[in-house]
Amino acid sequence: MPLEKQFGVFKILAPLGAGGMGEVYRAHDTRLGREVAIKVLPKEFAADADRLRRFEQEAKTLATLNHPNIMTVFAVGQHEGAPYLVSELLEGQTLRDALKNGPLTPRKAIEYALQVAQGLAAAHGKSVIHRDLKPENLFVTQEGRVKILDFGLAKLKESPKSQIPNPKSIDADAPTVVASVANESTEPGRVMGTPGYMAPEQVRGAATDQRTDIFAFGAVLYEMLAGQRAFKRGTSVETMHAILTEEPPDLSESNSNLPPALNRILQRCLEKKPERRFQTASDLAFALENLSGSTSATARALSGKATARWLSSERLAWATAVLLLTLIALVVVSRRREPPVAQPQLRLSIAPPAESHIDDFVLSPDGRYLAFTTLTSNKRLLMIRTLASDETRVVPEVEDALEPFWSPDSRYVGFYEGLIAGAAHAQGRTQCAQRMIRFHGFNALVAVAHVVETMPNVFFRMSRWWRNWRFSRSS
């Protein structure tokens, strides 16, 4: 069809596709100022009674349906002998194109399947059976909404009260079509539907009802999860034979991420006997909706696991900080409330021996003794004062004591005598450095550490001694 052709108030802009049911174009509605899709049955097909009847049937069927998951029809008409149908323009891709990138995740498959089931439930509620549900007839918009297309093979049920016909009856009024395995399009032939998606009753030419769409729904869901058809064989005959006699591979064996509940829904949809499938699309949608809620919650929990761990750690850190601050505040408040305790003051006087003065002194760790050295004209004595009394003792056999220091248990006082480290008991006994390691509570490690700490002073005293010695020799 040439572009810029006018169909009443609709101006053709560009071709969108073509199939057994006609050609589809993008068009502009000059009256309402919107873009639409126009399906046109070419003139050469208008003389085909079967095609014309199916085209008119699709228009009438879609006109009775109004649901977010079913393509909306705006108008029908005829121009120069060519019937046309005006519908909403959908931006996105068919499910077939979406599956070219591989299978969908269970979460995404459930999301799409739920929308398809809800659309089918709306159609079945109007006594409309699709009978040709397949990925090519499902359109996914850019917003993620799924639309059911192409009701060319749809039929109206005779009566809402007889939704489940006699399985032995023959659907004589239904047009007979067969799908080409090569292009998977619906073409005229002997069997109504598309091989790979037909229910067993369709393959046999038996009566069809809403459960026929549920089987096709199962085949589509299987393909969404597996990335390949449930019944794919080399020829149409082999495919239809597999539908009648074989079971598709169990996806739970190859997909460990498949929820068991979803696998049970899938297997129930693909039951050979209609009475063992879901009896209505509403029941199917209800099952998927429940599964969608639990799966979404699980997905959210899994996707937020690291975040939850981080939040838990953060909450723990904050709780710990608050607890510590609370404890600190309590301690500060309690201390402020306690009356100040008067610290005892110790005043004492030390009288050094005649003609001497105190050089170094150090208090014992337990506060009971004071060790100090007194410097006379030719001696540096080590003395220990008991603070509980006025008793002062001179450590015997020590005449050049330097830098006294206490053991941690206050039992011994260490000192230097010339260049040799020594130790004295608090009670006055003197030991040489070589025997310190046997003292209780005052080991060699303490002595060595103190020696290292005071090493610069030792070197200073050695240099002073060397200088004095040289001076005395030169004299």
Task: Tell me the CATH number at 59.
Answer: 3.30.200.20
In this structure, which amino acid lies at residue 221? Answer: L
Of the residues 36, 71, 89, which one is the last residue of a structural domain? Answer: 89
CATH of residue 223's domain is 1.10.510.10
* Cα radius of gyration rounded to whole Å, the chain: 50
- If asked whether residues 298 and 393 sit together in one domain, one would say no
What is the reported pLDDT for 409? 86
Indicate whether 157 pLDDT > 70: no
Closest listed residue to residue 298, CA positions, set 262, 255, 254, 250: 262
Total number of domains constituting the chain: 3
Domain-embedded: residue 239: yes
341 belongs to a structural domain = no
Same-domain pairing of 79 and 97: no
Q: Tell me which residue of 183, 113, 123 sits closest to 153, measured CA to CA.
A: 123
d(C-alpha 410, C-alpha 449), whole Å: 17
| Position 141 confidence tier, pLDDT thresholds 50, 70, 90 | very high
What are the residues whose beta carbons fall under 8 Å from the beta carbon of 206, sequence distance 6 or more? 167, 168, 169, 170, 171
Residues 289 and 396 in one domain: no
Looking at the fold, whether 265 and 248 belong to one and the same domain comes out as yes
Max mean pLDDT range (35-44, 211-220, 226-235, 422-431): 211-220
| Verdict on whether the full-model pTM lies above 0.85 | no
pLDDT in tens, 54-99: 777 777 777 788 899 999 888 888 877 778 889 999 999 999 999 9
Above 50 in pLDDT, residue 176? no
Same domain, 115 and 85: no
151, 278: one domain: yes
Looking at the predicted structure, is the pLDDT value of residue 167 above 50? no
The answer to the question of residue 350 being in a domain is no
Q: With CA atoms as reference, report the closest residue to 186 among 121, 236, 124.
A: 236
pLDDT value at residue 18: 77
pLDDT in tens, 415-472: 877 654 455 555 544 444 433 332 333 444 445 445 445 555 555 555 555 554 444 4
HSE (side-chain half, CA atoms, 13 Å) at 216: 29
**Integer Cα distance of 129 and 122 in angstroms:** 10
How much is the pLDDT for 172? 30
Q: Are residues 118 and 241 in the same domain?
A: yes
- Among 29, 48, 50, 132, the active-site one is 132
Angle formed by the axes of helices 260-269 and 210-226, nearest 10°: 140
Measured distance CA(470)–CA(464) in Å, rounded: 10
Sign of CA dihedral 46, 51, 57, 60: negative
Q: Which residues make Cβ contacts (< 8 Å) with residue 141, sequence separation at least 6? A: 90, 91, 92, 147
- pLDDT value at 331 more than 70: yes
Does one domain contain both 71 and 99?
A: no
**Domain for residue 333, yes or no?**
no
Per-residue exposure over 297-308, b if at least 16 CB sit within 10 Å of its own CB, e if not: eeeeeeeeeeee
**pLDDT number for residue 55:** 75
More confident residue, 418 or 250: 250
In a domain, 345, yes or no: no
Please tell me the least confidently modeled range out of 160-164, 216-220, 466-470: 160-164
DSSP three-state, residue 179: strand
Model pLDDT, residue 135: 95
302 and 269 share one domain:
yes
CA contacts within 13 A on the Cβ side of 250: 6
**Does any domain span residue 242?**
yes
Residues 301 and 221 in one domain: yes
> Which of 3-7, 128-132, 272-276, 461-465 is predicted with the least confidence, judged by mean pLDDT?
461-465
- Range with top average pLDDT, 108-112, 233-237, 299-303, 470-474: 108-112
Does residue 397 sit in helix, strand or coil? coil
Q: Give the confidence band of 344 by pLDDT, cuts at 50, 70, 90.
A: low
106 in a structural domain: yes
Same domain, residue pair 173 and 65: no
Domain assignment present for 76 = yes
Domain boundary among 70, 89, 108: 89
**DSSP 8-state assignment for residue 396:** T
Helix or strand holding residue 369 (H, E):
strand 369-375
Percent share of the chain, pLDDT over 70: 69
Residues 265 and 176 in one domain: yes
* Spatial contact of 76 and 84, defined as CB atoms under 8 Å apart: yes
Strand stretches in 5-160, DSSP E = 6-7, 10-19, 22-29, 34-40, 73-79, 82-88, 92-94, 128-129, 138-141, 146-148, 155-156
The tally of CA atoms less than 13 A away on the side-chain side of residue 328 is: 6
Show the tokens assigned to 443: 């080991």
Structural domain harbouring 376: 357-474
Calpha distance 80→66 (Å, rounded): 29
Are 397 and 379 in contact by the 8 Å Cβ rule? The answer is no
Is 400 a known active-site residue? Answer: no
Q: State residue 209's pLDDT score.
A: 92
**Residue where a domain terminates, one of 310, 341, 371:** 310
Coil, strand or helix at 370: strand
What is the reported pLDDT for 287? 94
Cβ proximity of 415 and 398 under 8 Å = yes
